Amino acid sequence: MSIPICIDTYKARVAEKAIEAGASMINDVWGLQQDPDLGRVAGESGVPIILTHNQRNTDYQDLFDDIFNSLDRSIEFALYSGISQAKIILDPGIGFGKTPAGNLEILRNLDLFKARYSKPLLVGTSRKSVIGIVLGGLDVKDRLEGTLATIALAIAKGADLVRVHDVKSVSRVVRMSDAIVRGWEPG
């Protein structure tokens, strides 16, 4: 069985070496806005790329407009770099330059991303600090239930992919959530 490997980097050289070694996807937590050469690497290799919204602070004029404008720039740069529309996956960036309230607002409104973009939507909430904060200061190792809740609700709101740590537990939640949201047939 072949298991796809995703390289988590915003550096072109790292992505290039990882793809040479067999990586089949790039996850850029800066949405092509840190290393302009990363777009070329993704475009030439033909691998899918995850474009994540991120910023260095939590100051927003309007949370959704600011995120949408940033993702629009990322998509535009991806296309300019030769990345196919079909190879672009979007991530609203839970935990990346957002307040806890902002993270929850994004999760409540993932359907806005689905309505605006006809692209797969990835959500990475696994063990994030917002879960620890909402649940009373839980340590990272104690955030499984919070993670499972965010995953199930993200799928209900349109998430197509999830990034997680606890694969066995989350895969069951994903399968059940998908059966409810997207339908299920026996066998």
Count the Cβ atoms, other than its own, within 10 Å of residue 185.
5
pLDDT in tens, the chain (187 residues): 678 899 999 999 999 999 999 999 999 999 999 998 999 999 999 999 999 999 999 999 999 999 999 999 999 999 999 999 999 999 999 999 999 999 999 999 999 999 999 999 999 999 999 999 999 999 999 999 999 999 999 999 999 999 999 999 999 999 999 999 999 888 7
Residue 38's alpha-carbon distances to 8, 35, 129, 141, 146, in angstroms, are 12, 6, 28, 33, 34
Model pLDDT, residue 1: 63
- Tell me how far apart the 2 most distant CA atoms of the chain are, in Å: 49
What pTM, to 2 d.p., does this model score?
0.94
Q: In the chain, which segments carry CATH 3.20.20.20?
A: 1-123
- Taking CA atoms, 56 is separated from 5, 30, 177, in Å, by 27, 10, 33
pLDDT tens-digit profile of 129-144? 999 999 999 999 999 9
What single letter denotes the amino acid at residue 75? I
How is residue 121 annotated by DSSP? B
Q: Which of 111, 164, 103, 156 is nearest to 134 (CA)?
A: 103
- According to the model, what pLDDT value does residue 160 have? 96
Residue 4, pLDDT score: 86
User: What phi and psi, each to the nearest 5 degrees, are found at residue 163?
Assistant: -110, 125
Fold of 1-123: TIM Barrel (3.20.20)
Active site residues: 128, 163
